[in-house]
Amino acid sequence: MAVPKKRVSINKRRLRHSNSRVKLPNVVICTCGKYRLPHHVCKSCGMYKGRQILDIKSKE
């Protein structure tokens, strides 16, 4: 059975676990003012790169 030869220091353990945090998604602000993911069509207005891609029906 494999057993570590030396004890892992606290600093080495923290360096190993430093990348396991929860990362927030990268968001950009659309022309309508809502947040959206980059390279995606806005769900609220249907715009992408300044062009109308989807026709969004309003709830009114």
For the chain, how many residues are written?
60
Is the pTM above the cut of 0.75? no
Q: Residue 41: inside a domain, yes or no?
A: yes
Instruction: Quote the pLDDT of residue 58.
Output: 67
Q: Residue 15: inside a domain, yes or no?
A: no
Q: Residue 17: inside a domain, yes or no?
A: no
The Cβ of residue 35 has, within 10 Å, a number of other Cβ atoms equal to 12
Q: Residue 1: inside a domain, yes or no?
A: no
Q: What angle do CA 47, 48, 50 make, to 5 degrees?
A: 80
Q: How many separate domains does the chain show?
A: 1
Regions of the chain short of the pLDDT cut 70: 58-60
- Domain membership of residue 32 as a residue range: 23-60
Instruction: Quote the pLDDT of residue 10.
Output: 96
Q: Residue 46: inside a domain, yes or no?
A: yes
Instruction: Quote the pLDDT of residue 59.
Output: 56
Q: Residue 3: inside a domain, yes or no?
A: no
Instruction: Quote the pLDDT of residue 55.
Output: 85
The Cβ of residue 47 has, within 10 Å, a number of other Cβ atoms equal to 17
Residue with tokens 């309003």: 58
| 35/24 Cα distance (integer angstroms) | 13
